[in-house]
Structure 1
Amino acid sequence: MTFWIVISLMSLLIAALLGLAMMRGRRDAEPAAAYDLRVYREQLAGVDRDLSRGVIAEGDAERIRTEISRRILAADAQVRQEREGKGPARPLTLATVLVLSVALIGGTIVLYRTLGAPGYGDLPLSLRLELANEIRNERPDQAAAESRMPAHPTAQVDESYARLLTQLRETVAGRPDDIQGQTLLAQHEANVGNFTAAYAAQRRVVELSGDAAGANEFTDLAELMIRAAGGYVSPEAEAELKQALDRDPGHGPARYYWGLMLSQIGRPDLAFTLWQETLAAAPAGAPWGEAIRAQIEEMAYRAGVNFSLPAETAPLAGPSSEDIAAAGEISAEDRQEMIRGMVDRLSDRLATEGGAPEEWGRLIGALGVLGEGDRAQAIYDEARTAFAADDSALRMIDEAARAAGLTQ
């Protein structure tokens, strides 16, 4: 209630000041004819001085006095007219002030009800931090998050690939301690969108690796868990990310997902700071760097930071805002076809015209997401051949291939 009283009084004060200014108008300003009136009176006094010195004759002086007097009367009449008719009519001014006051006060209330949070208590920093910790401690676990996911449609794969995947599953089931088999199973289960089975196989890889498990293995496990939960970072996925960061605090993919977790628990300030530092150290074309670039400006806005990407670090050309808006309005099947069409166009252009290593890396990553592992492998091999003499380009391409599950 106190808040409403304060903003109402402030609005009334502003409206009163504006009304006072409108009521006064410019009535205190001197009419233009007043200056002419002073000049004519000085001229009339000058005629008497000239006559007393004998400069002009009496007859000439009388004629000059008559002309100046006529001008004085005309100027005086103009002054009175300007003072009486200056500014709008008083009733019109009063009506304008009333309408302005209503618009100002009413507009303030409507704007606050639209953009503000009526009835919502103040949130000091200490309370916001407490709420963030509460969200972090009480958020759903991995199983609960997966249970809320809609049924995933079966990926359409080639019959030969499906047979190979079945054989791989049977082989790994009979040899559960085969780390290479578990690694392949994790990759190929992810290719067909079976992320729950993929992270189960990747967890086995971590277990079999023991102390030799590095940041990549733990991050891959966390990523598969996050994808299985539809982008949600569960406490279990957070624990795997922590293992990765303990082994390599500068690991880019783990830092990206850690920032994602921070944003989900209500700490966009920490997420933005982490992403900004990570982006500054990201090698050109790194998929996780591109993911940060695509989201960091929104994260900065949520954190209350005025930030924009420099032109040289802007994301590579991709679908337009119209494409994204259209994709949000169509069915999942049509959206998949739309994405596949964009991927095919990029593939055709690279095959005929070539392109930057970042674009080859993007194509490899996109094909991996679409579950076209064989095609992604073929593009990867072609890219390595095209950039065989460029070590920096090869590093970008290898990073994209690793993120797509083609290499280790």
Structure 2
Amino acid sequence: MFWILAAGLTAITAFAILSPLRKGRAGPAPAASYDLRVYRDQLAEVERDLERGVIGPEDAQRLRAEIGRKVLDADRRLGQAGPAGRAGRALVPALVLALMLAGAVVLYLREGVPGAPDMPLAERVAAADAAYRARPAQAEAEAQAPARPAPDLSQADPEYLAMIDQLRAAVARNPQDQQGLALLATNEMRLGNLTAARDAQQRLVDLRGDQADPVQLMQLATLMVEAAAGVVTPEAEAVLARTLTLDPDQPQARYLRGVMLIQNGRPDLAFPIWRLLLEEGPANAPWVPSIRAAIEELAWLAGEAGYRAPSDQSGPDALDLEAARDMTPADQARMAEDMVARLQDRLASQGGTPDEWARLISALSVLDRDDHARRILAEARNRFGATPEAIAPIEAAAERAGLTP
């Protein structure tokens, strides 16, 4: 059946390409043929004018000679544009098309699987289940992850770095200090030391045992996925399951569960999760841009080809804008500081999109906190520097803020 469909599509395509060339051979005559008709009509007109006495014999003879030269020239041009020439020009595209089709067949026979039968749904589910069970463990995934560049701390505040060193030493002296481990995990993540951050968060969760809350579990799962270069390993999935047991509505855990299902060939299960997250919002949630960019393709893979993502309603709330207009300059400044602080805390604890990191850098620059903005820029470069598309909006924001030379 496949070969019949492929041959039919190939024939239709070839006909569509060659049809204009074929029509060109039997289509309108060249311009020289029209010229010949005009010249013949002109000769007949000369003869009629001579019979009516409008022109004399000498003028008639001169006009016949002039029109005759034009007839000879048109006849010569008509011969040059004959069918043989047109057929020769049509032969070249036909040969090129034949070579392309032959090359496509050879490429498929070499790289494709001509005899492979269609895979029934049950076999596809079985293949997805096999891929799910064959996932690498956390340690293996981290070992296979691309090497990350060392964090660039040249722009970091020396006092801040000294404080982190003191915190590391304090936690080493007292490894049971839960508050110290929480602070260490957060600050190691800010510096781009993912392995150290994940290790500190893992120790914190282990110490708390059944008392670990969804936020702590979610931060551990996020660090595990980032350290594994985006792979949701069995260990990370177990942490996500604990999170969702304690808080079934935890949005970031649901998002990462959708990522895991996509990675293991189950778009049919991932689509309902991501669809609900997108509909629930809020529009400025860090996972929404990723979902919005892929949801329609995911819907098609899940068998929902007619699905269209809801329109993006992101932006400031009208009531907030109205309230801001009535504030004093000092209150507006405090409001801006509060928004920047919330954004920074969320990026540190939950991560976010490159656009959100760019927004934070721009906001810090507007607030004349360039040193802080440079530290955030260094952290963003550590996170996204390996992906040109991701780092581009961050570098653009840094350039606008005057943070780059």
| 1:66, distance to aligned residue in structure 2 (A) | 4.7
The answer (yes or no) to whether the contact 2:146–2:229 under 8 Å persists in 1 is no
Partner of 1:20: 22
Q: In the TM superposition, what whole-angstrom CA distance separates every residue of 1:57-90 from its partner, at most 9, and x where no partner exists?
A: 8xx5756765665566455434433322225863
Partner of 1:264: 263
Instruction: Return the TM-score normalized by structure 2.
Output: 0.54
After TM superposition, the structure 1 = structure 2 runs for residues 7-406 of structure 1, keeping only pairs within 5 Å, are 13=15, 17=19, 20-21=22-23, 23-24=25-26, 27=29, 30-42=33-45, 44-45=47-48, 48=51, 51=52, 66=61, 69-70=64-65, 73-74=68-69, 76-86=71-81, 90=85, 93-94=87-88, 96-108=89-101, 113=107, 117-119=111-113, 121=116, 126=121, 128-142=124-138, 144-146=140-142, 148=144, 158=162, 159-169=165-175, 172=176, 181-182=177-178, 184-189=180-185, 191-192=187-188, 193-194=195-196, 195-205=198-208, 207-208=210-211, 213=213, 215-245=214-244, 248=247, 250-267=249-266, 274-275=273-274, 278-279=277-278, 281-283=280-282, 286=285, 288-289=286-287, 293=289, 297=293, 353-354=366-367, 363=376, 366=379
The answer (yes or no) to whether the contact 1:199–1:224 under 8 Å persists in 2 is no
The answer (yes or no) to whether the contact 1:135–1:265 under 8 Å persists in 2 is yes
| Structure 2: 5+ residue stretches without partners | 154-160, 189-194, 316-357, 384-405
**Alpha-carbon distance in structure 2 between the residues aligned to 1:151 and 1:297:** 27
**Alpha-carbon distance in structure 2 between the residues aligned to 1:267 and 1:26:** 57
Change over 3 Å in CA distance of 1:208–1:245 after alignment to 2: closer
The answer (yes or no) to whether the contact 2:138–2:233 under 8 Å persists in 1 is yes
Aligned-partner residue type, residue 34 of structure 2: P
**Matched position secondary structure for 1:266:** coil
The answer (yes or no) to whether the contact 1:37–1:75 under 8 Å persists in 2 is no
Aligned-partner residue type, residue 160 of structure 1: Q
**Alpha-carbon distance in structure 2 between the residues aligned to 1:244 and 1:349:** 34
The answer (yes or no) to whether the contact 2:267–2:298 under 8 Å persists in 1 is yes
Change over 3 Å in CA distance of 1:237–1:228 after alignment to 2: same
| Structure 1: 5+ residue stretches without partners | 173-180, 315-344, 371-408
Question: Which of 1 and 2 has higher RCO (CA within 8 Å, sep 6+)?
Answer: 2
**Alpha-carbon distance in structure 2 between the residues aligned to 1:106 and 1:162:** 67
Change over 3 Å in CA distance of 1:68–1:353 after alignment to 2: closer
- Bigger mean CA deviation after superposition, 234-243 or 301-310: 301-310
**Alpha-carbon distance in structure 1 between the residues aligned to 2:91 and 2:209:** 74
The answer (yes or no) to whether the contact 1:27–1:87 under 8 Å persists in 2 is no
| 1:208, distance to aligned residue in structure 2 (A) | 2.4
Aligned-partner residue type, residue 366 of structure 2: E
**Alpha-carbon distance in structure 2 between the residues aligned to 1:202 and 1:89:** 84
Change over 3 Å in CA distance of 1:348–1:137 after alignment to 2: closer
Change over 3 Å in CA distance of 1:309–1:191 after alignment to 2: farther
Change over 3 Å in CA distance of 1:206–1:24 after alignment to 2: farther
Taking every aligned residue pair, what percent have the same amino acid on both sides?
21
RMSD over aligned Cα, in angstroms?
Answer: 5.4
| 1:233, distance to aligned residue in structure 2 (A) | 0.6
**Alpha-carbon distance in structure 2 between the residues aligned to 1:145 and 1:352:** 38
Aligned-partner residue type, residue 99 of structure 2: G
